[in-house]
Structure 1
């Protein structure tokens, strides 16, 4: 699938995920410290970062809260060379549409509202299948954490995600990673919806 956008940081070239676990980075995701913004607090955000053989499980999913936007912040316990991101979205219009990825930056909606340029933007497929999206490896060399900003969906009021995964290679960190502590309860006024629309609640997933 080719991309008509002229932005070199903007691409979509999805591949259906194979049945073989090649270069799965699940083991180096720091799952206890995965956080989210504007998501239903009943589901911990780490629960959608599942083992490879659970990628088709639809019993657990992450929903956005006040509107269709959500942020997933993923730290690693190693230095990662990211090769692809895998996403299994919700059914129909609830599937996420645009994914902005930021390498080595833990961001909130205030940062995103300042139009900070993403490391890469991917146009996702409207599908409930687990789809693998290659990234530009040179831009994600030595990544220790990622911010995934799901900016919109295909028309629903909320966005739903069943699975997020990562593929690539990794090396041990030379020093202990610094874990940033975020406020336990976000101020609803902090979430101003991107692209000039009305804002909503900015909630931090547990």
Structure 2
């Protein structure tokens, strides 16, 4: 298992550096196809979508997702509107022992179920409690450089009967779906053949000189 983070656990100064640039880094939530987001084992239907929100709203505890009674697992299926190069994840979990203690990432497995979580994850993390978004878990970019769907499994917590998550922040780069590039290429291919002949002739003349 790997565990990378760029900041230490929460400190008394957590609120003093509200950096707009840091907020911009975690803007991939705007590229999520929210109508297709699924959260398996959520206690309240549809609540899993609420944890994907602006960085500045990450400390808002009014909306959250909690696992069903006596079952600590939560599985998120997150489709994007294009391709994503994922670089990092921030997770703000619940109070006491309801915070997730482990996280597994699976790429490009739409509509993943708990039956499939026995498959080898693309990356795994041991987690620390984080109530302010200070811990940034670094993702292996080489493995997550073309992600159109991300599944996040929280298999356990720190000992509570249910797991609670307030915020999931995704850091990385967004690329439009590949079909847009194909359309542009096809359009360019319809250039006037006469133009190409002239260019070739000019090139030959230059070489002769």
The bucket for the TM-score relative to the shorter chain is 0.7 to 0.9
- In the alignment, the residues of structure 2 paired with residue 29 and residue 162 of structure 1 have an alpha-carbon distance, to the nearest angstrom, of 17
Name the SS for the 1:141 alignment partner: coil
> 1:129 is matched with which residue?
132
- Number of the residue aligned with 1:83: 87
Q: Distance in 1 between matches of 2:79 and 2:45?
A: 21
Of 79-88 and 166-175, deviating more is: 166-175
Q: Does 1:140 align with 2:144?
A: yes
Instruction: Mark the CA change 1:110 to 1:42 in structure 2 (over 3 Å): closer, same or farther.
Output: closer
- Once the two structures are TM-superposed, the CA of residue 44 in structure 1 deviates from its matched residue by 2.5
Alignment match, 2:198: none
CA distance in 2, matches of 1:153, 1:37: 16
Q: CA deviation at 1:43?
A: 4.7
Tell me which residue corresponds to 2:76. Answer: 72
Q: Relative to total residues, which structure has the larger helix share, 1 or 2?
A: 2
Deviation, structure 1 residue 118: 0.3
5 Å matches for 1:49-198? 49-66=52-69, 67-106=71-110, 107-112=112-117, 115-130=118-133, 131-175=135-179
Q: RMSD value over aligned CA atoms?
A: 1.7
For residue 137 of structure 1, report the CA deviation from its aligned partner. Answer: 0.4
Which residue of the partner structure matches residue 193 of structure 1? Answer: none
Gaps of 5+ in 1: 1-9, 177-206
TM-score, with structure 1 as normaliser: 0.75
Question: How many residues align structurally?
Answer: 165
Q: Who is 2:23 aligned against? A: 21
TM-score by length of 2: 0.74
